[in-house]
Amino acid sequence: MKIIISPAKSLNFEDKVQTSINSKPFFNDDAIKINNELKKESIESLCNLMGISPKLGELNWNRNQDFKNNSNQSKQAIFAFNGDVYDGIDINTIEERKHKLVNDVIRILSGLYGILSPFDHIKPYRLEMGTKFSVNGSKNLYDFWASKVTNQLKSELDKDEIILNLASNEYFSVLNSKEISNKIISPQFKDFKNGTLKIISFYAKKARGLMSRFIIDNDVKSANEILSFNYGGYSYSEKDTTDELKPVFIR
| pLDDT digit string, tens, across residues 75-97 | 999 999 999 999 999 999 999 99
Model pLDDT, residue 72? 64
Model pLDDT, residue 84? 95
Residue 70: band (very low, low, confident or very high) from pLDDT cuts 50, 70, 90: low
pLDDT at 19 exceeding the cut of 90: no
Q: Are strands 2-5 and 163-165 parallel, antiparallel or unpaired?
A: parallel
User: CB of 79 within 8 A of CB of 15?
Assistant: yes
What residues does 2 pair with on adjacent strands? 163
The single-letter code of the amino acid at 52 is: I
Distance (Å, whole) CA 9 – CA 13: 13
Number of folded domains that form the chain: 1
For the CA atoms of 201, 207, 209, 213, what is the dihedral angle to 10 degrees?
180
Distance (Å, whole) CA 31 – CA 25: 9
239 belongs to a structural domain: yes
Q: What is the mean pLDDT of the chain?
A: 95
31 belongs to a structural domain: no
47 belongs to a structural domain: no
The single-letter code of the amino acid at 168 is: S
pLDDT at 40 exceeding the cut of 80: yes
Q: What would the mean pLDDT of 222-232 be, rounded to a whole number?
A: 96
Model pLDDT, residue 162? 97
178 belongs to a structural domain: yes
Residue 187, SS3 per DSSP: coil
Range of the domain at 138: 2-24+74-250
Could you list the beta-strand ranges (E) of the chain.
Answer: 2-5, 75-76, 106-110, 114-116, 121-122, 163-165, 184-185, 188-193, 196-198, 235-236, 248-250
pLDDT at 71 exceeding the cut of 80: no
The single-letter code of the amino acid at 118 is: P
Angle (CA) 92-93-95 rounded to 5° is 100
User: CB of 78 within 8 A of CB of 119?
Assistant: yes
Nearest alpha carbon to residue 83 among 143, 172, 7: 7
67 belongs to a structural domain: no
Higher-pLDDT residue of 72, 126: 126
Distance (Å, whole) CA 146 – CA 115: 10
63 belongs to a structural domain: no
Model pLDDT, residue 221? 92
Model pLDDT, residue 226? 98
32 belongs to a structural domain: no
Distance (Å, whole) CA 230 – CA 65: 45
Residue 239: band (very low, low, confident or very high) from pLDDT cuts 50, 70, 90: very high
> What percentage of the chain has pLDDT greater than the value 90?
90
84 belongs to a structural domain: yes
Q: What would the mean pLDDT of 100-117 be, rounded to a whole number?
A: 97
